[in-house]
A = this chain, B = another copy of it.
Amino acid sequence: MNNSALGIFDSGVGGLTVVRAVQELLPGEDIVYLGDTARVPYGSKSPETIRRFSDEDVRYLLQQEVKAIVVACNTATAHALPMLQERYQVPIVGVIEAGVEAVLADPRAQRVGIIATRGTIASHAYQQALSLRRPDMVIIEQATPLLVPLIEENWIDHPATRQVLETYLQPLLDQRIDTLMLACTHYPLLVPVLQEMIGDRVRIVDSATTCALHLQQELRQRDMLAEPTRQGNLSIALTDLSEQFENLAKRFLHKCPPNISRVEL
């Protein structure tokens, strides 16, 4: 039993979809969330820069004495997770392994499309992890860099978003995918419009829910879960504060965020 807080970080506020899943599954856990909003996005930047930023994020969370860390950002998981796990003692969990499990949960998955930022796609992290477990699987990767800006603008229902999605999805549909992996923590907000566009033909999976399950297993194995009778607290630290980020946080969390503080890394 360990009542210390969990640390969860992302380049911005997208990782709050993971926070929401963790709160639902593990309501007794305190959570310290760090969003590096001063330097968001990570998805279009180089692996070297992403590793440097992620390392600074982890150091901040360790100063808050967290018991474990979730990298709630696909790009940071893809480029920095092995380095972070090697460098630090606390358990560090990423979103990619969870995403891979989510795809493999349906044994009928044969032709999988992956959509993600430029950085995540360039890492081929999903492709490699899936191919290792299922060498016969057909995997089609597609960088979709305009989706994060459109989601952050709350243009989910705008015709331009549909037009952008059509351009991005057509090559995947041409390849007759049966599964679409949303490999970015922002993308769960697009699920309603995606379902409307690709309907029943394609199963949509995302990593937020599976990531929470994966975290629960890790903590249980190490006897590090908080007392289940507790009521966990959430605190949010951002490296840049703006009204826009607060509005976004509300949409990602599905409720009003608690007090948000600004921190420097």
Contacts and interface: CB of A to CB of B under 8 A. Distances in A.
A150 B146 contact: yes
A45 B49 contact: no
A148 B44 CA distance: 13
Interface in A210-242: 239-242
Contacts of A239: 49
Interface stretch (A98-106, A159-167, A171-179): A159-167
B38 A242 contact: no
Interface in A176-218: none
Contact of A46 (B152, B163, B242): B242
Interface string A56-85: 000000000000000000000000000000
Interface in A99-145: 118, 145
A38 B44 contact: no
Contacts of A255: none
A87 interface: no
A132 to B, nearest CB: 27
B153 A159 contact: no
Contacts of A244: 44, 118
A261 to B, nearest CB: 14
Contacts of A149: 145-146, 149
Contacts of A167: 158, 160
A155 interface: yes
A126 to B, nearest CB: 20
Interface of A: 37-39, 44-46, 49, 53, 118, 145-146, 149-150, 152-153, 155, 158-160, 163-164, 167, 239-242, 244
16 contacts: A38-B49, A44-B152, A44-B244, A45-B242, A46-B240, A46-B241, A49-B239, A145-B149, A145-B153, A146-B149, A146-B155, A149-B149, A158-B163, A158-B167, A160-B164, A163-B163
